């Protein structure tokens, strides 16, 4: 990247060149060059509109559009020499255009400012990123539905306080993650609507004296609507903050999911096996197989929460309209989008490959008195008030702990010490299958309900 000084785009009122360090300090091209495609898209739409309203001739427009397309090709071929002295992606491209097509290139910026230009570019860029992220969410959700269908009858312990609570089906557990991701998807679709509004035409802050027609650029760029106030249009970044908030929630979900995978793959749980391709070893301990992918996703959630906090802080003290502070919006936003997309991609690849260990899950569910609530419900059905049943079963569990027996392992005589309402039919209730099958309503863990939820999930994905 070259760094010669003096900036022709605004050098007119200056009597000495910008300090070399200041030029580097204030430049953003190192990171905003990533916006080149959307910058060119916005410029082509702007030039087309200027020609349509008679500010540019058709020949001038054609020359600008051709020049911009050539520049795009050069950038994509890695042949573009980005110059730090030209500050940012916008001025680099404009300077190159003038170098290439001559004085007509200098007309591109008519009726426009970098302030509405950059606000437009980020929105166009984020709109595309949201679409890619939505596709990854859907791919991950498809994987969850497949696994849930396969594992509709697999029994595992459900936890509260990380203590065995009640038996659940593994399919049901996986579908909890499906639900969270559905809300993440909804949030991003919603955020996309507000991202998809066009600030172009706001110019520096007050609008422009040229007879622009914003509906033309709006349509060319596929925006849903034009922004209604030029001061707001150039300065606001709430769409980016909203994206980071939605991305933070999605990362928080993935981080919790990661935590379960880390626990479940441990020697202590052994609930699932993660294929080797998602793990790494230790350079000193030969036996190790570490769940690096979920651990990293859990760790990376912090970057996205940081982006959210960073952008909120960036905006909170800014008076209207554009301030240079806003140049600091890009790195956190880019990083949040990249991190979320990569994390989703890793999960979407990994989830269909999870191998549950059925026997171990089942055995864990048999331990820990997971059907204690079922015994209490059984006694309620025999006519006792729930609170009394709770107490009776509490005594039975205490007896079980002292004697090393789970409820289903006790004889009828042993159980009847706690209530004479207990009869032979209690054993059907104390089995794991009896327990999960009994929770047979929408949102319940019964295998039937898991299959019904998978069906609903498929319909949801098909409707997107």
Applying CB under 6 A, the residues found at the interface with ligand ARG are 28, 32, 88, 114-115, 118, 322, 324, 326-327
**324 vs 355 by CB, closer to ligand ARG:** 324
d(CA 112, CA 200): 8
Take residue 210 and report the two structure tokens written for it.
């040229």
Take residue 266 and report the two structure tokens written for it.
């441990």
Q: What are phi and psi of 106, to 5 degrees?
A: -75, -10
d(CA 336, CA 344): 12
43 catalytic, yes or no?
no
Task: Given the residues 15, 161, 283, 411, select the one marked as catalytic.
Answer: 161
Cβ neighbours, 10 Å, residue 207? 17
Take residue 436 and report the two structure tokens written for it.
């999960």
**240 vs 262 by CB, closer to ligand ARG:** 240
Cβ neighbours, 10 Å, residue 77? 8
**199 vs 400 by CB, closer to ligand ARG:** 199
Q: What is the CA radius of gyration of the chain?
A: 31
**63 vs 326 by CB, closer to ligand ARG:** 326
**25 vs 284 by CB, closer to ligand ARG:** 25
**113 vs 435 by CB, closer to ligand ARG:** 113
d(CA 420, CA 47): 88
Q: Of the candidates 441, 463, 458, 462, which has an alpha carbon nearest to the alpha carbon of residue 144? A: 458
Cα end-to-end distance, the chain, whole Å: 43
Q: How far is the CB of 324 from ligand ARG (least distance, A)?
A: 6
Q: How far is the CB of 120 from ligand ARG (least distance, A)?
A: 11
Q: How far is the CB of 326 from ligand ARG (least distance, A)?
A: 5
**40 vs 422 by CB, closer to ligand ARG:** 40
227 catalytic, yes or no?
no
Sign of CA dihedral 247, 248, 253, 254: positive
Q: How far is the CB of 329 from ligand ARG (least distance, A)?
A: 7
> What pairs with residue 272 in β-bridges?
356
**115 vs 154 by CB, closer to ligand ARG:** 115
d(CA 359, CA 365): 10
Task: Given the residues 57, 282, 395, 441, select the one marked as catalytic.
Answer: 282
CA 171 to chain CA centroid, Å, is: 23
Q: Taking CA 285 as the corner, what is the angle to CA 283 and CA 286, rounded to the nearest 5 degrees? A: 90
**325 vs 406 by CB, closer to ligand ARG:** 325
Q: How far is the CB of 39 from ligand ARG (least distance, A)?
A: 10
Take residue 328 and report the two structure tokens written for it.
């600091």
d(CA 60, CA 63): 5
Residue 270: left if φ>0, alpha if ψ -120 to 50, beta else—which one? left
Q: How far is the CB of 91 from ligand ARG (least distance, A)?
A: 8
Q: How far is the CB of 37 from ligand ARG (least distance, A)?
A: 16
Q: Of the candidates 35, 36, 3, which has an alpha carbon nearest to the alpha carbon of residue 22? A: 3
Owner of token pair 């004889």: 411
CA 75 to chain CA centroid, Å, is: 29
Owner of token pair 């980020």: 122
Q: How far is the CB of 235 from ligand ARG (least distance, A)?
A: 10
Q: How far is the CB of 7 from ligand ARG (least distance, A)?
A: 11
d(CA 185, CA 367): 37
State the angle between helix axes of 330-350 and 114-150 in degrees (0 to 180), rounded to the nearest 10: 20
Answer whether 9's CB lies under 8 Å from 90's CB: no
Instruction: Give me the active site residues, please.
Output: 161, 282
């Amino acid at each position: 990247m070259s760094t010669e000084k003096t900036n022709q785009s605004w050098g007119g009122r200056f009597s000495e060149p910008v300090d070399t360090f200041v030029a580097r300090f204030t430049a953003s091209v190192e990171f905003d060059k990533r916006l080149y495609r959307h910058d060119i898209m916005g410029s082509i739409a702007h030039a087309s509109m200027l020609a349509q309203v008679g500010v540019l001739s058709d020949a001038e427009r054609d020359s600008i559009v051709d020049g911009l397309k050539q520049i795009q090709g050069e950038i994509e071929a890695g042949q573009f020499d980005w110059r730090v002295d030209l500050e940012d992606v916008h001025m680099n491209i404009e300077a190159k255009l003038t170098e290439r097509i001559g004085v007509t290139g200098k007309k591109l910026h008519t009726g426009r400012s970098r302030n509405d230009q950059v606000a437009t570019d980020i929105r166009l860029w984020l709109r595309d990123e949201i679409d890619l992220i939505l596709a990854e969410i859907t791919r991950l959700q498809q994987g969850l539905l497949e696994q849930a269908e396969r594992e509709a009858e697999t029994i595992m312990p459900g936890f509260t306080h990380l203590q065995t609570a009640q038996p659940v089906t593994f399919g049901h557990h996986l579908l909890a993650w499906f639900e969270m991701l559905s809300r993440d998807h909804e949030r991003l679709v919603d955020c996309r609507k507000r991202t998809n509004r066009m600030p172009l035409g706001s110019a520096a802050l007050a609008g422009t004296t040229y007879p622009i027609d914003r509906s033309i650029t709006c349509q060319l760029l596929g925006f849903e609507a034009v922004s209604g106030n030029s001061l707001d249009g150039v300065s606001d970044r709430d769409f980016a903050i909203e994206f980071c908030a939605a991305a933070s929630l999605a990362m928080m979900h993935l981080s919790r999911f990661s935590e379960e995978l880390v626990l479940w793959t441990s020697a202590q749980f052994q609930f699932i096996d993660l294929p080797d391709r998602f793990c790494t070893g230790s350079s000193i301990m030969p036996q190790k197989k570490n769940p690096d992918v979920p651990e990293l996703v859990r760790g990376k959630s912090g970057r996205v929460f940081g982006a959210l906090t960073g952008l909120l802080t960036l905006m909170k003290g800014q008076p209207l309209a554009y301030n240079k502070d806003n140049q600091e919006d890009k790195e956190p936003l880019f990083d949040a989008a990249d991190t979320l997309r990569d994390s989703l991609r890793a999960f979407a690849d990994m989830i269909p490959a999870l191998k549950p260990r059925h026997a171990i899950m089942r055995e864990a569910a048999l331990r820990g008195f997971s059907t204690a609530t079922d015994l209490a419900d059984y006694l309620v059905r025999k006519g006792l008030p729930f609170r009394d049943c709770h107490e009776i079963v509490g005594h039975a569990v205490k007896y079980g702990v002292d004697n090393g027996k789970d409820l289903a392992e006790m004889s009828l005589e042993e159980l009847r010490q706690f209530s004479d309402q207990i009869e032979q039919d209690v054993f059907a209730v104390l089995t794991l299958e009896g327990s999960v099958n009994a929770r047979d309503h929408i949102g319940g863990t019964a295998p039937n309900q898991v299959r019904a939820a998978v069906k609903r999930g498929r319909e949801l994905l098909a409707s997107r």
